[in-house]
Amino acid sequence: MSWTEERIGTLKTMWEAGQTASQIAEALGGVSRNAVIGKAHRLGLQSRPSPVVSKEEAKAAAEREKQAAVAAPEPEPAPWEEVAEPAAPAPVEAVAPVVEEDEEEDEPVRAAPAPAPASIPLPEPRREPVLRSVGPGGFVRQAPGEQQPPIAPAPPRRLVPARTAPEYADKTSLLDLNDRICKWPLGHPGEPDFHFCGEKVNPGFPYCVAHCGHAYQAQLPRRDRRAPPLPFGGPRAR
């Protein structure tokens, strides 16, 4: 088996989608996992977190993770969540530059140990590969986090939203919901004007026809998926 344009495309796609070399090899057929890894490297694909990691890298990675954890403790509050007042500012301790002695190291000229302040400008926030399942031919399905809506009915932190202000009393509140009216949320729980759509449902669905259109989006027919629109742009043309 040779590396045809198509097979390379599949390899790239799957590799970037976070599939393991074994999975890719199996999907392609006729190649070993080693062949896949070798090819991936030759293509210059971004290396993946390897189980085999040098001491040097391990330290760097650990350091990087610390930095990231301090820099961005919260990914982002879900839109429906109230942004809680921080009880106490996170105790951000200045990380003293760790200068470690390396026994097995015999560089004649030591580069000046760059005094690393608390915030090192990270060259590139190493992208964690996203796990996606892959269908026949290397078609990559969306990962759960990447699905288009349904975003909708969020698990609110507080089951009963803040009391609806009088001026919105005629809006459809949580208590007004039943199985005949559209439950598409408008606004955010906890906000005074939060309410639900309230239209008559599309029979058999929790939403009205219009909101069903948002909630349920058809997949492309399989035969049209040779070059699926990937979230990251798909195989690059060369």
The reply to whether 23 sits near DNA by the rule CB under 7 A is: yes
Least gap, CB of 59 to DNA (angstroms):
13
Alpha carbons 138 and 5: distance in angstroms, whole number: 13
Alpha carbons 158 and 163: distance in angstroms, whole number: 12
**How large is the C-alpha radius of gyration of the chain?**
25
Site for DNA, residues 41 to 60, rule: CB under 7 A: 41-42, 47-53
Alpha carbons 231 and 39: distance in angstroms, whole number: 23
Question: Cα angle at 206 between 147 and 219, to 5 degrees?
Answer: 35
**For residues 23 and 67, which CB has a smaller minimum distance to DNA in the complex?**
23
The reply to whether 62 sits near DNA by the rule CB under 7 A is: no
**For residues 2 and 178, which CB has a smaller minimum distance to DNA in the complex?**
2
**For residues 48 and 188, which CB has a smaller minimum distance to DNA in the complex?**
48
The reply to whether 33 sits near DNA by the rule CB under 7 A is: yes
Site for DNA, residues 123 to 182, rule: CB under 7 A: none
Q: How far apart are the first and last CA of the chain?
A: 22
Chain residues that interact with DNA, rule: CB under 7 A? 1-3, 20-23, 31-35, 37-42, 47-53
